[in-house]
Structure 1
Amino acid sequence: MRKNVCLKVLSLGLAALLIISLGGCGKKEEVKKTTADSFKEVTPEAKAEETMKAFSNDTPYGYGDIGVEQTVLHSPTEEWQYAHGATIDYFDGTFYCVWGVAKVNEGDPGGHLLMSISKDGKKWSTPQKILGEPKYADSGIQYSYGLRGLFFVDGKIVVSYKIDEMASMAVDENGHRRPKFGDEYIVNRGEYAVESSDGGKTWQSSDYCTGVAYTADSLNNGRIVSWAGKYTDDLTMKSKWERWSIDTSLATADGSTVTTEPYGFQAEDGTLRCFFRTTLPVLYGAESYDGGKTWTKAYRTDFSSDASMFKFGRLSDGRYYFVGNPVYNNNRFPLALLISEDGMKFDQWYTIHDDIPQREYGGMYKSGYYAYPSVVEVDGYLYVAYSMNKETIAVSKIDISSIDKSKLTLQTPVSDVFTSDLQNFVNATGMWDYTAGLGYTSNMSNRFDFSLSDTKLENGKDFTLETDITFLGNQFEPTKEFAGIVFGASKSTQDTVDFSKDSYYYLSLELKGFTRFYSNDMGTVNGHGGHIPLTDDLKLLQKY
């Protein structure tokens, strides 16, 4: 039987209440508890390295369909073309969503924060600025505000933020961020917070939650944690924030250039599990047995992820969830909900969004279709806030009851699907090798050792391709950084380059990541690989 749990801290008013008797008068008064109970330390059943190795989202099933309603809160304009980092929470009958905007590029000077409010999670107010216009540094470059977290303290809305200053060399003549200048050229000029006592209408400087990120989760003893590395036993969240640290050196040794943006959950036995985004195809994770004071090293998991921020949590019925991009394809696609019964095996995958949103503006670091989800559960629904193409902010409402109604079906192994079609394959010119039961594979010596292959396949037939590639869509021209595969309508031109005689199709692929492309459904792109039938009407193929 599932246990009824609720880990989300909404306000001090939801903290545990202590009932005391007033001497002799027979009356009782509720006194708000202000300090968490002592944390009962956990004795782990296995070493953290073994637990993380078993932590997995591998699944034999395809995606399940669930009830999702999407509302767009913010669309890009000519003046503000960038939007990202949405954070959503719920307090006293109202939803609040906060995000950051910039003029063109991620990190451009002059960026500020917006907030939108809703009573039902579907109809949202016009976004309003939280802070005034950023001031200018001595260099003449405008500061930029960066969102840190959203909290509710003593009935007040609290937004924590940072102020960034970009070096002169990193800004062009139009006041926008230059290419090829990274975070080392951005100076953090301090972390601050503002609070509102009137539902976000007016804001004042605040001492609460300064330097605390994301939103607050509560442990089983009442301790409040921010998975970005802080915790407090002060249930008012006004003070006593302690910092934790986790050794991520194993991820670095494994080749990850970034180990960041942690998030986690508390397991049923009280163990804290905290996971890190990496540049590898999987997450790294660590455990704490004393409520976050000390941590094991972060070890490699078997949980796939697309180098993007994610969220873990527990539903009110006790099940565990992951919301994010579980497929490693460098596109942050699709946005999915994964469910686990035991907090170790997240093998139930459900689609939140798998359509490709239209990008309206270009800009630096604006790759990724669905990114940086934030999640809150209210009255039988999950509300997920996220950015699309780093320019549009949306909230999707998910009916939790639809999860149990959705039917998951076993996927047919790729080799079984295509064994009967292997006779249709014809060798390319030294680029591809035939593998029995699989098809043709490419063995590249480096990222850029081929550009176009003249592999031909009869139009309408399926194919299997396994190599170091990532699908990009149909908007890219072949360059030294991209591989193109040309498919033909007949075998008559296998040895020619005269493509005018037949109908050929070009598919653009980036030479990094790992994806297996295969086909069994018309016109779909599946998260465990691309379903790409070679048909005339498929939008993902472009006539060559």
Structure 2
Amino acid sequence: MKLKILTSSLLPGIEDKPMSHAANILELSSGDIVVVWYAGAYETSPDEVILMSRFNRNSSTWEDPVIIVDTPGRADGNPVIFEYDGKVHLFYVTIEGGGLPEEIGKDYPGAIKNNLIRGGWDTCPVKYRISYDFGKTFGEERILRKEWGWMIRNKLLKLSNGEIIFPMYDEVNWKAIFGISEDLEHWEYTGYITTPRGCIQPAVVELEDGHLLCFLRTRDSFIFRSESYDYGRTWSPPCSTSLKNPNSGIDLIKLIDDRLIVIFNDSFDRRTPLNAGISEDGGENWEIFDLEREDGEYSYPGIIQIRDKLVHLVYTYRREAIKYVVMEID
């Protein structure tokens, strides 16, 4: 098995918003590739906005980002982008509880370790906007969930029965939740699963019709897994995998050839190194590859495989930028 990096680059940013984090990537039905992320002075800062950049295939470069969400005096974050029925849905959250002091926001991983994060992402409603022109413009803000506490991070997945599953989580109680919908308007919520010390930010793949596999970010030092055999209605008790997790974001996809690839930090306590794991047996065993090994933070991956069969990855690069990588997997 081989993993070859074909290209890599840093996405352009905005000068007065030096911190970039939590990117997601999508190939649109138009053929465009877009990336969304949030940027600001520091994590949870009141100037934090949602940005979008589009890949220009003619020049093979990323266009300068545009601000697509900017709530005055509030931090917007964790954008998730999904296309359904010709419409592009942008989901995101807005901190309503005031955010965190600057000294904490500038060292968010440290704040997590020291349990100093109340008043930040646990005080968000979940919102969305819809675009009818492939993300060139977005409509008015709508509310998916008004009550504070639930959060989003990883991408939605269309299942073999036509339903859509939205991995979500409870930032207050550290539980994984799954939204299930046929039309992105009416939702059923399931899951509410947790690990001994708590889990968030589930990532989901469909192994076979109705058989879903979920990987979970945890406080338990390892990625945990849970499975569903009824399109996400019920879930098995989470159990530990062999993959380390320093309480940092992960992403998981099923490739066209049915192999799985997970992007994660192979560490118990740092957001470096950044690694890719490839499994040929449904996630039981993994071959691990290095993507980043230097000091710094390399985290919060977003990964897709597009029509050219190449794997496209974005992730936080030292909190300074979003890095884009194209990989070929043999």
| Amino acid paired to 1:350 | F
CA distance, structure 2, for counterparts of residue 177 and residue 343 of structure 1 = 36
Q: Give the letter aligned to residue 273 of structure 1.
A: L
Larger Rg: 1
Give the partner amino acid of 1:99.
W
Distance in 2 (CA, whole Å) between partners of 1:380 and 1:332 is 28
CA distance 1:343–1:177, change in 2 (3 Å): closer
Which deviates further from its counterpart, 388-397 or 206-215? 206-215
Mapped to 2, the partners of 1:167 and 1:216 lie a distance apart of 28
What is the match of residue 67 of structure 1? 5
Quote the residue 2:138 is aligned against. 203
Structure 2 Cα separation of the partners of residues 151 and 123 of structure 1? 22
Aligned to 1:372: 300
Matches within 5 A, 1:101-180: 101-103=39-41, 105-120=42-57, 122-132=60-70, 134-135=71-72, 142-167=73-98, 170-171=100-101
**Shift in alpha-carbon separation, 1:156–1:344, aligned structure 2, 3 A:** closer
Give the whole-Å Cα distance in 1 for the aligned partners of 2:6 and 2:153.
28
Find the partner of 1:230 among 178, 183, 189.
178
Q: Is the 8 A contact 1:86 1:385 kept in 2?
A: yes
Report the Cα distance in structure 2 between the residues aligned to 1:172 and 1:300, rounded to whole angstroms.
Answer: 35
Distance 1:303 1:322 in 2: 10
Give the Cα separation in 1 of the matches to 2:33 and 2:3: 26
Match of 2:213 among 270, 273, 287: 273
Shift of residue 297 of structure 1? 1.9
Secondary structure in 2 matching 1:344: coil
Q: Distance in 2 between matches of 1:381 and 1:233?
A: 29
Q: Does structure 2 conserve the Cα–Cα contact (< 8 Å) formed by 1:165 and 1:188?
A: yes
Inter-partner Cα distance in structure 2 for 1:247 and 1:113: 29
The residue correspondences of 1:15-414 to structure 2 (distance < 5 A) are 66-75=4-13, 77=15, 79-91=16-28, 92-103=30-41, 105-120=42-57, 122-132=60-70, 134-135=71-72, 142-167=73-98, 170-171=100-101, 182-186=116-120, 188=123, 190-205=125-140, 207=142, 214-228=154-168, 229-234=177-182, 237-248=183-194, 251-252=195-196, 256=197, 258-268=198-208, 270-325=210-265, 327-356=266-295, 368-378=296-306, 379-400=308-329, 404=330
SS in 1 for 2:126: strand
Shift of 1:322: 1.1
Q: Percent identity?
A: 25
Q: TM-score, normalised by structure 2?
A: 0.82
Residue 375 of structure 1, CA deviation: 0.8
SS of residue in 2 equivalent to 1:246: strand
1:194–1:203 Cα contact (<8 Å) kept: yes
Inter-partner Cα distance in structure 2 for 1:95 and 1:336: 23
- The residue type equivalent to 1:163 in the other structure is T
Q: Could you tell me whether the CA contact under 8 Å between 2:205 and 2:212 is conserved in 1?
A: yes
| Contact kept? 2:23, 2:79, Cα under 8 Å | no
Which amino acid is 2:75 matched to? S
The structure that is strand-richer by fraction is 2
Q: Secondary structure at the match of 1:109?
A: coil
Deviation at 1:300, TM superposition (A): 2.5
Structure 1 residue 270: deviation in Å? 4.0
- Relative distance call for 1:334 and 1:76 in structure 2 (3 A) is farther
Q: 1:341 to 1:209 in 2, by over 3 A?
A: farther
Contact 1:114 1:129 in 2 (8 A): yes
| TM-score normalised by L of structure 1 | 0.52
Give the aligned residue type for 1:399.
Answer: E
Distance 2:95 2:87 in 1: 26
Q: Relative to 1, partners in 2 of residues 1:189 and 1:309: Cα closer, same or farther, differing over 3 Å?
A: closer
Change beyond 3 A, Cα 1:184–1:232: same
- Distance apart, 1:302 and its partner CA: 2.7
* Contact in 1 for aligned 2:13/2:65 (Cα 8 Å): no
5+ unaligned residues in a row in structure 2: which ranges? Answer: 146-150, 169-176
Answer yes or no: is the 8 Å Cα contact 1:117–1:125 preserved in 2: yes
Distance between the aligned counterparts of 1:273 and 1:337, measured in 2? 18
Alpha carbon RMSD of aligned pairs, Å?
A: 3.0
1:381-530 correspondence runs (5 A): 381-400=310-329, 404=330
